[in-house]
């Protein structure tokens, strides 16, 4: 198990959103880059969790699977589990690229696994944390078109954010292809 390289973002006010507004954000440490395929593969291998790209539905027949969240396809990947083994094998050849096709429940399950394995608290960032870190020059790597899960819920859906439109809020919909995540290391407790 490899812990992510994190950057500490100090507490303070930040100009966030569109239209911009000032909000206070507490100190947090966020992973510099999204979770990589190789990192996620260790999780899949150790927990027998369904890989992105298909398999058992979230929480059904997948050890460590999360509760259905209304977002995502079986196992967090392609609809109806199409091509799961072949797609995952192909992704594993690119171990240093961001994992995608991960449902929100899969991302939360990964955070729980990382927390238990390291003894330190890991979770998804809320959207204020994600945006504050994304706006801080040099803090995050891998910002671009990949949509990233947050731990925020708004207007009946889980919020995703993307680096090429830092202030824009999006929703993953029923198909999480192109959705990845990065983790936040808790700054309180262990």
- DSSP string over the chain: --PPPEEEE--EEEEETTTTEEEEE--EEEESSPPBHHHHHHHHHHH-PPPTTSSSPTTSSSTT-----SSS-GGGSSGGGTTHHHHHHHHHTTTTSBP-S--HHHHHHHHHHHHHHHSS-EEPPPHHHHHHHHHSTTT-SS-SS-EEEEEEEETTEEEEEETTEEEEEEE-TT--TTEE---EE-SS--
pLDDT at 10: 95
Arithmetic mean of pLDDT, 114-121: 96
- 70-104 pLDDT, tens digit each: 333 334 444 444 456 888 999 999 999 999 999 99
Residue 111: both structure tokens together: 């955070």
Task: Kindly tell me if the per-residue pLDDT of 175 is higher than 90.
Answer: no
pTM of the model: 0.82
Q: pLDDT by residue (tens digit) across 15-72?
A: 999 899 999 999 999 999 999 999 999 999 999 999 997 543 333 333 333 333 333 3
* 122 pLDDT more than 70: yes
Question: Tell me, what's the pLDDT at 190?
Answer: 52
pLDDT in the model for residue 84: 64
Higher-pLDDT residue of 129, 56: 129
Which tokens is 130 given? 């994600």
CA separation, residue 86 to residues 55, 56, 83, 89, 125 (Å):
11, 15, 6, 5, 31
pLDDT in tens, 146-172: 999 999 998 888 999 999 999 999 988
Query: Which tops the pLDDT comparison, 14 or 55?
Result: 14
């Amino acid at each position: 198990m490899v812990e992510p390289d994190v950057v500490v973002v100090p507490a303070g006010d930040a100009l966030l959103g569109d239209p911009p507004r000032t909000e206070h954000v507490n100190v947090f440490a966020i992973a510099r880059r999204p979770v990589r395929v190789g990192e996620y593969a260790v999780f899949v291998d150790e927990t027998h969790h369904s890989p992105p790209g298909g398999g058992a539905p979230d929480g059904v027949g997948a050890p460590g699977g999360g509760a259905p969240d209304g977002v995502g396809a079986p196992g967090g990947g392609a609809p109806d589990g199409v091509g799961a083994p072949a797609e995952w094998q192909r992704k594993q050849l690119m171990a240093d690229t961001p994992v995608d096709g991960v449902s929100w429940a899969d991302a939360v399950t990964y955070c729980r696994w990382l927390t238990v394995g390291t003894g330190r608290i890991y979770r998804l960032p809320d959207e204020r944390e994600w945006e504050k870190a994304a706006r801080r020059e040099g803090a995050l790597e891998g910002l671009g078109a990949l949509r990233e899960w947050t731990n925020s819920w708004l207007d009946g859906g889980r919020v995703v954010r993307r680096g090429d439109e830092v202030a824009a809020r999006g929703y993953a919909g029923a198909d999480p292809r192109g959705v990845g995540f990065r983790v936040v290391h808790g700054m309180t407790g262990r």
